[in-house]
Structure 1
């Protein structure tokens, strides 16, 4: 009898249990796994949000794996730890290697070479089961490529599971050793249960706190996700001792199945709420379905569990792991080719069909042959195993070698090395637009490879608070001994003006005091977001910064006064006016600069370097000015109500009359989708100085 499995495990509820304690095979959990993967794929392809299916997978993984470990530990079988490790790796790695090799090839064919290093890093992270930390750190690193378009984003959950397996193995093995030394091997289950309960409560509390403080990190954090796996682990500990009435099991079954199916519709913003308390819905639903059937209990199997045991859902459950691995990269590569944020009916159906076919082929020719030891079976079964093993190794070696090699060649360098790359005669940059300076033909600087390094000083200096830093971080630039102070305040879109301000301060000395936080313009709104993800501490940070400014008393505050609209153009949000009012109440003078255009086609943002590397040029990779900017600076009208607020607009030093290109005066304007390169910012010193001079009165 084959063992029931969940994505990433393939472990059976009854596998390896002593004959007297063997429980019935749970076909319904095969079907639950199949239903969960169907929800995951459908929601990813057509709805662009989470369904709760991954949370169901995590519960099932904790349930099956912990149950296996406890049964092995209670059996007293020598060498069981090594056997479990071999079994788990044999079930996890082969399909993963096949998909990662395919992603490496597709990346080379489909994506621009500026994206290869990020994908290579994630391939290695996925093989080492630390992809969730790679993505968490990428989110924390505001200047990295957007992890939401990574073809390997979905493998964070496999990394969380892999880390859980190691922890669970250590805990159960440790409990077995302690109980054996104490002469009480019968206490293994109780000991494990106590540890699981404590860890689950701690993890849930940590996850609940993280939703309101660091959700960008929290979503990928193994410590926050742990309680979902531990919920399944606790059921594995308790289930043999449970005897629930038939009516209660029916209620659990009905509401459990309903919760699994409806979760994605009830919790529509799961990416901003999971794995916090909102995840109790999919987790609780999965637990309820598991509890609805237990060995030795009287009464019929509840109807919802019988429905889950239908052949179609069980078949989907069989291919759930490879289907999970395949569907996301196929979807991302299709969207990359189409340049669309969503898959329409035809494209989505094609993604679904290809994913299912590849998942079945992977299951049939890679997973199944390798699920038995090499010495098992007859000769007819040995050759498929050998062919599958050779195929996996043949794919693994070059994939690792190429990924590691590309990382070594295109590894990140110190951003400070870019500082002296350009000179104004050959590289006039913004002055080519603002003053009509002719630019000789020179290679563009920075290059598409170096663009991500050309960042303003606060980033490498650690002088901008990241996503997970609530504290106000401040540093001094310009002339620290000057009598006059300008406070540069807000998000990275305020930060990228610092090189221009430094250029001015070198000629007309003044101190520049920075108060910066990633993704957080000064705002008193409670629902601040960046790229659709909440930044819960942005308002608290802004409130403290405003108070600090009131006590520090800079001569001027410099911040952004507009933001882009996805529908086209730009605006001054209402919450900016509340900030201007708060600064006015403290008697502070404020310069609000119009934000620079954000590169996007419709709602799809893109990096300038990627577009150029993909064969575009400075014009085709740019935007029409009318799509990027409103005809008139949106800050002008609202600023007229605030005598201390002075709007300025440098758009004519960034955009031509009808076009916002990605390169002017031989300098690349953007180092990503919407941040100025430090080189272009430095070239803005002249135009900015001419705007600020009459306002500040310092020169």
Structure 2
């Protein structure tokens, strides 16, 4: 059979792929795939900033912006990779993309998680093993940023030591971006159907819309509560989108005049460096402040396409910076667990220094370089190279499947690692279980306990005795604790239960809730008013109310003192704790509606001056009296300089290392309380200092009960043991109000 000369020769499969690629190349602009030394240099700057900041070097107060540099670089590289694949193949292979990410990120991340687990078992107290196990589990699942955000809103946990995998929050943000962004771009490709203009317009529109929306959310959330906004994904998407903008504009950047491109590059580098030194922990962040390092990074990326050695690349391509940049991912993963271990060795916040000394922080960071390099050399790089070899040997389909299986195995192994750590941790109990068994522990299990052991004879209800009895020299705590009413590992859960659920507003809420306790039909109403340091006394008042026929209501908000017209900063929100300010404006009306006979006020320490807080408290006292309500100040208790349960666990046979000076503890306690007593000398004051700390030095354990459940709150069991003394001091005030309102 002969072939007609006019007939077309058969088109090979390779030729068809080439023709298809040419047609699809019109859909997206070309993205340079050459190695970028400037990116490696920026990675070095970013990771060094983070390392120095975590080491406590105050010269670089904004070192945490290095994470923002990473976000922009990641947004650029990932978008460029996706656009290049769409240009070459006319589609985005999601499996292939996720396989690449799995090979690049997950094995090294798992290696660091294993190292973190080992360091946890070796150096962290047992009380932290359970929480660290949960953190490992959420880190392996790449949702740890939401756990960190949730922890930032829990006032009862703000004094706890940071997690050794807290830095994985940024990896979680990127992984969540990697899941969503390729799907969105693939959807735009399907929508465009080969029309270059449609894809270009829709991709730019979507990118700019996400950038603007995330920036607006970031600004609002940061102003509302910066500690929470720091970790969540919506406040960080705009940083990744800035990188995407650079990738989308890849066709235009090389047309910029070389001199202008060099100027932009130097301006960007200056913005990054200025951020490291000008931004600090008091700057509302991320918000609009994050534009300085992120826009600066974008300008350096844009400049690199054209400026060459005229731009900052000749600095960024220094050999040592290229080496640091290459291992920056492993450095980031490994440095923080060593810093956390160093803090635990020195008992930072648990009887040792308040913060990690800089020299120790630097040593921890330097020590972490070795495992980081080993991880890069024997885990990260071999897996990446093997992926390329495997693809050439078995084909892209099989290579993709194996990479995805590897990634799933790494995530599963990390999750199992966390579960294993939780399984070897001390037994945990639910907080409500501890709270509701408190009366039995105090009254039935071992009588007397806690403050009841300080008196010559226990007061009614098994509580503590009179002030005169408490003045007697107490028996001091031994080095070996022996049996405790609540095991020390469970003490952090020994907190009151406030009902109904949601009655105690958290940091981000400004509603006025009312918690109920005592006798709901009692003729006398006692209100606890203030913050969590007021709410912690409900355990004693609930018992008193049930026996005396007092209705007990708690009107309290997390970290918000019972003041009038006082604005103050809290945590990373120096612009003011706005939710507390809004709460202050509404709470008086709610108290008047409840019509209590006595309002017991208490609060913790705050950043405002004693004078400002005392005057604001005095104004609230006057308002309550004007409404016909009798106010009482319950003076805050001495505050330890560390987390008490952690200190006791770390010093099992040397418990006296957890003793602290009472006078110093009082200076750290409720702001303005002593001055308020001077401003309003006729104000009744309930002072339980001697029942909490009967000697000049405060023992963390009294009568077989751990006094503090963290670094500032009294445990519910010990509060319950104080019920006799609380009742004794409140009875005269209540009786006086009854005489005034009687027939």
TM-score with structure 2 length normalisation? Answer: 0.82
Q: State the match for 1:619 in structure 2.
A: 656
Shift of 1:584: 0.5
Partner of 1:415: 432
CA distance in 2: counterparts of 1:618 and 1:649, whole angstroms = 27
Equivalent residue in structure 2 for 1:445, among 478, 485, 495: 485
Deviation, 1:62, is 0.9
- CA offset at residue 649 of structure 1? 0.8
Aligned to 2:454, what secondary structure does the other structure show? helix
Tell me the residue number matched to 1:590: 631
Q: Distance in 1 between matches of 2:309 and 2:42?
A: 15
How many angstroms does 1:515 deviate by?
A: 1.5
Q: Deviations over 1:378-427 (max 9, x none)?
A: 99xxxxxxxx9999999987654342144467565352354224033524
Tell me the SS of whatever aligns to 2:251: helix
Residue of 284, 296, 300 corresponding to 1:289: 300
1:403 to 2:414 alignment: no
What does residue 54 of structure 2 align with? 44
Q: What is the match of residue 80 of structure 2? A: 67
SS of corresponding position for 2:553:
strand
CA 436–65 in structure 1, closer or farther in 2 if over 3 Å, else same: farther
Counterpart in the other structure of 1:328: 336
Match of 1:384 in 2: none
Q: Which of the residues 564, 585, 596 maps onto 1:543? A: 585
Find the counterpart in structure 1 of residue 741 from structure 2. none
* Aligned-pair Cα RMSD in Å: 3.4
Any idea what SS the aligned residue of 1:251 has? helix
Return the offset for 1:142. 3.0
Give me the whole-angstrom Cα distance separating, in 1, the residues matched to 2:597 and 2:391: 84
Give the drift of 1:671.
1.9
Match of 2:117 among 104, 116, 119: 104
Question: Partner of 2:385: helix, strand, or coil?
Answer: coil
Match runs of 1:22-171 below 5 Å: 22-47=32-57, 49-51=61-63, 52-76=65-89, 80-144=93-157, 146=159, 149-171=162-184
Distance 2:385 2:51 in 1: 29
Whole-angstrom CA distance in 2 between matches of 1:21 and 1:160: 24
Q: Does 1:433 align with 2:454?
A: yes
Q: Is the Cα–Cα contact under 8 Å of residues 533 and 603 in structure 2 kept in the other structure?
A: no
2:289 to 278, 284, 289: 278
SS of the equivalent of 1:481 reads coil
Residue 353 of structure 1: aligned partner: 366
| Number of equivalenced pairs | 662
Q: Tell me: CA distance 1:239–1:474, structure 2 relative to 1, closer, same or farther (3 Å).
A: farther
Give the 3-state SS of the residue equivalent to 1:149 in structure 2. Answer: coil
Residue 275 (structure 2) pairs with residue 256 (structure 1)? no
| Shift in CA distance, 280/576, structure 1 to aligned 2, threshold 3 Å | farther
Equivalent residues in 2 for 1:128-527 (5 A)?
128-144=141-157, 146=159, 149-180=162-193, 183-184=194-195, 187-242=198-253, 243-269=255-281, 273-294=284-305, 297=306, 301-339=309-347, 340-344=353-357, 346-374=359-387, 376=389, 400-407=415-422, 410=427, 413=430, 415-420=432-437, 421-424=440-443, 426-434=447-455, 443-458=483-498, 461-523=501-563, 524-527=565-568
Task: Tell which structure's C-alpha radius of gyration is larger.
Answer: 2
Shift in CA distance, 393/59, structure 1 to aligned 2, threshold 3 Å: closer
**Higher mean C-alpha deviation, range 688-697 or range 409-418:** 409-418
Q: Any conservation in 1 of the 2:226–2:572 contact (CA below 8 Å)?
A: no
The alpha-carbon deviation at position 273 of structure 1 amounts to: 1.4
- Are 2:596 and 1:554 equivalent residues in the alignment? yes
The correspondence for 1:606, drawn from 643, 658, 672, is: 643
Choose the corresponding residue for 1:641, options 663, 679, 683.
Answer: 679
1:686 is matched with which residue: 720, 724, 743?
A: 724
Deviations 1:541-582 (A, max 9, x none): 1222134334544222212266389xxxx9955224213213
Relative to structure 1, is the Cα distance of residues 629 and 163 closer, same or farther in structure 2, using a 3 angstrom cutoff? same
Which segments of 5 or more consecutive residues in structure 1 lack a partner in the other structure?
1-16, 380-387
Three-state SS of the structure 1 residue aligned to 2:145 is helix
CA distance, structure 1, for counterparts of residue 696 and residue 609 of structure 2: 19
CA positional deviation for 1:609: 4.7
Any stretches of 5+ residues in structure 2 without a counterpart?
1-26, 348-352, 393-402, 459-473, 739-743
8 Å contact kept, 2:500–2:516: no
